Structure 1
């Protein structure tokens, strides 16, 4: 007999997974600007399959006194001062994003959100720094636990590069669209869902009652 895990709260010990990708104006979380953020919440259907839910995307205005590295802009092709970006402040973006995450988290009866990203230490370090600058109190994310799709795909298919892992898993990936926070977040969410659902498809989840692996 199997335990039935058809609620998202039961899959990750009441953690609510949220996929995030950011683009920045450099690699220093304290002085380089956060320029773009994309967030995708997840849901579980009645059969226990993980799927994408809501998508939120913001262009961010560089914070006052921030340093803009030209090399980074050449890489991500962002013009921080282009009015067509319709950028908003860090505070406005994060406040709205966190409100949505908290609503989704509560509706799924989860106690804490967990950040999912490809090499999440980079993304989360910039987000934490922005939270400090904006004096935001309702950070929904666990302070140190994250889910890393680079690690998960390395374990599952032996590949840690996002584009290559997606292709191995049968997902489309357009390198010309990469390094956009929205595109990379969508692909990361697709990869995460595919990996988690693969584990279920292989019969490794739900865990069989009173059965342990001894190898």
Structure 2
């Protein structure tokens, strides 16, 4: 049986979701970020691991579209939101990922997201804004559960792909970084495990490469 380091060629999959003040990563606020490290159990199956989530203070001069707040339900000025600055949010999210990289021997984390170009763009923009020097993530590679969901179930919308995979979906919980990250991680693991169960990957061949 192969281990996690070998399974993805040295990459550690980490499901990520961000909630934002709009669609422009350079100008719009990052408001929430969550990350769930993907693990491998003793039977070689992928399982969602630890999840960390932070509410994020909008950076100075950040744009926040009212339509985005209505979509997510986020209230940036709510006194109980307990938001932290972008640098602290990134540090809190990255610390357990770096620790897991050392433990597994993986070289880099790779973002697992639903249409991940959006999440990766906001993540990279925040990294650049605070001049963060040690991001564990590959700067442009990612795994897309929209593509995988379309391949496995004929569904590209997260809610529909999750339900097609036989997983629970609570609409009232959606569009929070924590919930969407949890479901994205579960969907990714379910698809990869199903592929493996169908004989889609020869561990011996992978180990030789």
- Normalised by the length of structure 2, the TM-score is 0.95
Task: Tell whether 2:44 aligns with 1:15.
Answer: no
* Equivalent in 174, 194, 197 of residue 170 of structure 2: 174
Alignment root-mean-square deviation, CA: 1.2
Q: Report the 3-state secondary structure (helix = DSSP H, G, I; strand = E; otherwise coil) of the residue aligned with 2:171.
A: coil
Counterpart in 2 of 1:126? 122
Report deviation, 1:76. Answer: 0.3
Corresponding residue number in structure 2 for 1:84: 80
CA distances 1:42-66 after superposition (whole Å, capped 9, x unpaired): 1111210001111101000111111
Q: How does 1:167-206 map to 2 (within 5 A)?
A: 167-206=163-202
TM-score, structure 1 as length reference: 0.93
In our comparison, the structure showing a higher alpha carbon Rg is 1
Q: Which runs of 4+ in 1 moved over 4 A?
A: 207-210
Say which of 17, 25, 30 aligns to 2:26: 30
Q: After superposition, what is the alpha-carbon deviation per residue over 1:92-125, rounded to whole angstroms, capped at 9, x for unaligned? A: 0101211211111110110111000000000000
Inter-partner Cα distance in structure 1 for 2:140 and 2:25: 16
Structure 1 pair 133–170 and aligned structure 2 pair: CA distance change class (3 A): same
Gaps of 5+ in 2: none
User: Does structure 1 retain, via aligned residues, the 8 Å contact 2:120–2:140?
Assistant: no
Deviations 1:22-54 (A, max 9, x none): 100111111110000111001111210001111
More displaced 10-residue stretch of structure 1: 154-163 or 200-209: 200-209
Q: Tell whether 2:70 aligns with 1:71.
A: no
1:133 and 1:75 map into 2 onto residues whose CA distance is 25
